[in-house]
Structure 1
Amino acid sequence: MASKALLGAISTAQSIFFDFDGPVCEVFAGIPASEVARSLVDVMREFDPKLSKEMEGMDFMDALRISPQAGLNALRAVEDRLIEAELAAVKVAGEPTPGVVASLEAARASGRAVAIVSNNSSQCVREFLTNHDLTSLVQEIVGRPAYEPHRMKPSPYSLLVSAARLGVAPERCTLVGDSVSDVEAAIAAEAMSIGYANRAGKEQSLARAGADAVIGSMDTLADALRESPVV
């Protein structure tokens, strides 16, 4: 039996949004994220050596966020390199997150629309879904807006775009994500959120951020969706 909080987070949802890296797969399971971050530093060094120094040691998404400081050409070069890395990574990322296929199937079977909303590129999301025969379970993909890192989550942009494309009011959507930025984006969009605690200690941080429910397994979500058809 699913918890009251989890059922409450999905009972009125006409659409379930899934973050990509974590809930659907571990994008950089085969290629270290630190290696990707270093490659972005190398690209930036050609445009702005001082900014490249600032990027050293940063998470690659944070590095992308500050790259516009070096101008549009630098931003384009950094993001293009990141897309290349993401496409290479999903080819060796391994299998989908345990329970996510069952969750996607249960969401569709319950009468809900399904979307992927991600800070990763839409190209890499599509590549992974195609490689694992999952495209039929996902109706919409809204990835990182090209050359607009300020629109990445925690901005609600990707959620609002996905809701509009699906013709669903944001408040009738629920985002499943494994980061505080996912929860913050859902709150900003006035959507519901389910925190996926796939690492020790995440339960507390996701709950503190305001997640409507927190789960430790995607199978838990699948079971809840089977219990709760859309109303």
Structure 2
Amino acid sequence: MTRTLTAAQAVLVDFDGPLCNVFAGLPAQEVARKLSQIAADHDPELWGKLAEITNPLEVLALTYDFDRSVSGRVEEALISAEVEAVQVAGDPIAGSIEALTAIRESGRRIAVVTNNSTECVRRFLARHDLSDHVDAVVGRTLNRPDLMKPHPHALLQAAERLDVSPKECVLIGDSRTDIQAAHAAGGTAIGYANKARKRRVFVEADAEAIIERMRAIAHALS
């Protein structure tokens, strides 16, 4: 893992998982149901397709696929819910502040790259006095959920903002789609296995390294 980090000129960090448990205080299932209801209010046929989905981002993506005239309203509601959620999400993930600090002190640039909204990330960082710890925030492209990870769009944007080649970036993420996006962009990936079952997922996705605690990033750079 140390080799993967030291070979990178910039570190991209996913938000929900490595830095914040976004829906810890406002359950994702509750948000997903509200979004599904908003979609169904405008297109009743969508309720049967969305009612059982518990992931708000999946509701957004499927609404976009089924009826793009409705997805804009769902997007607006999701952004509001995300902003509300991070206000009650609790403290940053254990070890994440140490990780961000160590990355900056090593001379590497940092971007948060996420499928969540840019606004909710900025609110969370400001709330915890972490805004100065990152150089850029690249969130979900408005009204284009098809560009969410595993699409490399956000990672390529982050590399451009940091003025580095995508090949010089390593992404720290907690899902298969993070690993896929990093590789699609031409970079490397460190899987954050915050649940035991994820280790196998990351092995199968060919993550260059796997950690179980965010504090491991700081240790690797010390």
Q: Do the structures match in fold with TM over 0.5?
A: yes
Q: 2:61 aligns with which of 57, 65, 68?
A: 65
Using the TM superposition, give the Cα deviation of residue 46 of structure 1 relative to its aligned residue in structure 2, in angstroms. 1.5
| Structure 2 match to 1:188 | 184
Q: 2:71 aligns with which of 54, 68, 75?
A: 75
One-letter code aligned to 1:47: H
Q: Does 1:30 align with 2:12?
A: no
Q: 1:121 aligns with which of 117, 124, 132?
A: 117
One-letter code aligned to 1:167: D
Using the TM superposition, give the Cα deviation of residue 70 of structure 1 relative to its aligned residue in structure 2, in angstroms. 4.7
RMSD: 0.9
| Structure 1 match to 2:41 | 46
How many residues get paired?
Answer: 221
Flag the 1:76–1:104 CA change in 2: closer, same or farther, 3 A: same
Q: Does 1:219 align with 2:183?
A: no
Aligned partners of 1:12 and 1:176: how far apart in 2? 14
Using the TM superposition, give the Cα deviation of residue 8 of structure 1 relative to its aligned residue in structure 2, in angstroms. 2.1
One-letter code aligned to 1:124: C
One-letter code aligned to 2:103: A
| Structure 2 match to 1:13 | 8
Aligned partners of 1:70 and 1:155: how far apart in 2? 19
| Structure 2 match to 1:146 | 142
Question: Given that residues 47 and 70 in structure 1 are in contact (C-alpha distance below 8 angstroms), is that contact kept between their aligned partners in structure 2?
Answer: no
Using the TM superposition, give the Cα deviation of residue 72 of structure 1 relative to its aligned residue in structure 2, in angstroms. 3.6
Match of 1:175, SS state, is strand
Aligned partners of 2:65 and 2:24: how far apart in 1? 30
Aligned partners of 1:153 and 1:109: how far apart in 2? 28
Question: Given that residues 48 and 70 in structure 1 are in contact (C-alpha distance below 8 angstroms), is that contact kept between their aligned partners in structure 2?
Answer: no
Q: 2:130 aligns with which of 121, 127, 134?
A: 134
One-letter code aligned to 1:131: R
Question: Cα deviations across residues 36-87 of structure 1 (Å, max 9, x unaligned)?
Answer: 0000111001221112220112122111111124544311100111011101
Q: Does 1:93 align with 2:68?
A: no
| Structure 1 match to 2:99 | 103
Match of 1:115, SS state, is strand
Match of 1:46, SS state, is helix
Using the TM superposition, give the Cα deviation of residue 149 of structure 1 relative to its aligned residue in structure 2, in angstroms. 0.3
Question: Given that residues 15 and 172 in structure 1 are in contact (C-alpha distance below 8 angstroms), is that contact kept between their aligned partners in structure 2?
Answer: yes
Question: Cα deviations across residues 105-138 of structure 1 (Å, max 9, x unaligned)?
Answer: 0000000000000000000000000000000000
One-letter code aligned to 1:111: G
One-letter code aligned to 1:183: I
One-letter code aligned to 2:153: Y
Aligned partners of 1:138 and 1:21: how far apart in 2? 15
Question: Cα deviations across residues 196-225 of structure 1 (Å, max 9, x unaligned)?
Answer: 000121111111111100000011111112
Question: Given that residues 26 and 93 in structure 1 are in contact (C-alpha distance below 8 angstroms), is that contact kept between their aligned partners in structure 2?
Answer: yes
Using the TM superposition, give the Cα deviation of residue 176 of structure 1 relative to its aligned residue in structure 2, in angstroms. 0.2
Aligned partners of 1:80 and 1:46: how far apart in 2? 15
Question: Cα deviations across residues 160-218 of structure 1 (Å, max 9, x unaligned)?
Answer: 00001111001110000000000000010011100000012111111111110000001
